[in-house]
């Protein structure tokens, strides 16, 4: 099967619709605001943001489909042979920042890119994944998240979960802090194994497994009581999320360097955040347990 953009676009638009409907139903009080936008260099998208909900303090679910005569530097840095090719890139990207500190932040992204040059074969690949960032960890949540991630991978190859789990652990790592962003999940890029139909099916499976992974965790934790202490720690830890997205995240860099819509790109940032100079949690506290137990590389499937 040769690469076809239209079925990918159709799937991604439907995925955005399904995820937004499910999150609105879970929140129960707020709805997504939609902004359709056009990119001056070619293409556009639709941004949906839910703010001040009962469960979701702020969340964004973006669809974009952009094209242009040349790839930005962030895309050609590790694939220099693609410099000078025209491109089309489309995807759905989301970040959900819940209000309750016991509900983790989640991120998901699935995307497709193809690059072309006259007289040369089309280069194409899929990428994406999902990862979880708890503030207060629960082992059953982490096991469920990773079991669901593995279930999304298994029909497409027995080695995919282990490969992309490790890639996720390595990618979502704040080098300047020496710590991971969360408890991981899946991350893959430049994926075109076994042909277009197989690779597209795998990308769809990852997208379809996000709600199965996240909603049961939200439902378990959303009514847990919390106070100022938990809220303060949540806002402090959100600072790590901001640092990663602005310093390392490929999607953020690609969007900004390709002339994407800034408001849509930065919708991944939390609405409230704190930084505190050289702060460390007291030993033996629930906050210290996040660092000591959950922000460590682990085989969560063995835990369960």
**Residue 100 labeled ligand binder:** no
Residue ranges of alpha helices (H) inside the chain are 5-27, 73-76, 139-153, 160-171, 196-221, 228-247, 250-257, 262-265, 286-289, 300-303
Out of 67, 78, 107, 198, which one is annotated catalytic?
Answer: 107
**Residue 259 labeled ligand binder:** yes
- Mapped onto helix, strand or coil, the DSSP state of residue 37 is strand
**Residue 209 labeled ligand binder:** no
129: left (phi over 0), alpha (psi -120 to 50) or beta: left
**Residue 111 labeled ligand binder:** yes
Contact call for residues 37 and 46 (beta carbons, < 8 A):
yes
Q: CA gyration radius for the chain?
A: 19
Long-range CB pairs of 68-77 (<8 Å, 24+ gap) are 68/41, 68/42, 68/43, 68/258, 68/259, 71/115, 71/258, 72/253, 72/254, 72/257, 72/258, 73/257, 74/250, 74/253, 74/254, 74/257, 75/113, 75/254, 75/258
**Residue 97 labeled ligand binder:** yes
107 tagged catalytic: yes
Do β-strands 184-191 and 43-51 pair in parallel, antiparallel, or remain unpaired? unpaired
Q: Catalytic residue positions?
A: 107
Binding residues: 93, 97, 107, 109-111, 146, 176, 259-261
Binding residues for a divalent metal cation: 97, 107, 146, 176
């Amino acid at each position: 099967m040769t690469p076809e953009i239209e079925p990918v676009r159709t799937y991604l638009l439907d995925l955005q619709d399904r995820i937004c409907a499910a999150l609105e139903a879970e929140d129960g009080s707020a709805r997504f605001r939609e902004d359709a936008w056009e990119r001056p260099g070619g293409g556009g998208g639709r941004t949906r943001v839910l703010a001040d909900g009962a469960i979701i303090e702020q969340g964004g679910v973006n669809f974009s489909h952009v094209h242009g005569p040349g790839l930005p530097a962030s895309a050609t840095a590790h694939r220099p042979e693609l410099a000078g090719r025209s491109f089309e890139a489309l995807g759905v990207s989301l970040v959900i920042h819940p209000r309750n500190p016991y509900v983790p932040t989640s991120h998901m992204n699935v995307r497709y890119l193809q690059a072309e040059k006259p007289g040369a074969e089309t280069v194409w690949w899929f990428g994406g994944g999902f990862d979880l960032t708890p503030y207060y960890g629960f082992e059953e949540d982490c096991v469920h998240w990773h079991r669901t991630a593995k279930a999304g991978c298994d029909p497409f190859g027995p080695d995919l979960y282990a490969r992309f789990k490790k890639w996720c652990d390595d990618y979502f790592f704040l080098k300047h802090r020496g710590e991971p962003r969360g408890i991981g999940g899946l991350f893959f890029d430049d994926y075109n194994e076994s042909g277009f139909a197989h690779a597209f099916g795998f990308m769809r499976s990852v997208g379809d497994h996000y709600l199965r992974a996240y909603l049961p965790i939200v439902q378990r934790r959303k009514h847990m009581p919390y106070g100022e202490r938990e809220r303060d720690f949540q806002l402090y830890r959100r600072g790590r999320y901001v640092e990663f997205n602005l310093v390392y995240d490929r999607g953020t860099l690609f969007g900004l360097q390709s002339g994407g819509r800034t408001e849509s790109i930065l919708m991944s940032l939390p609405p409230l955040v704190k930084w505190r100079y050289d702060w460390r949690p007291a030993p033996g506290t629930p906050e210290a347990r996040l660092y000591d137990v959950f922000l460590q590389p682990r085989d969560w499937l063995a835990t369960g």
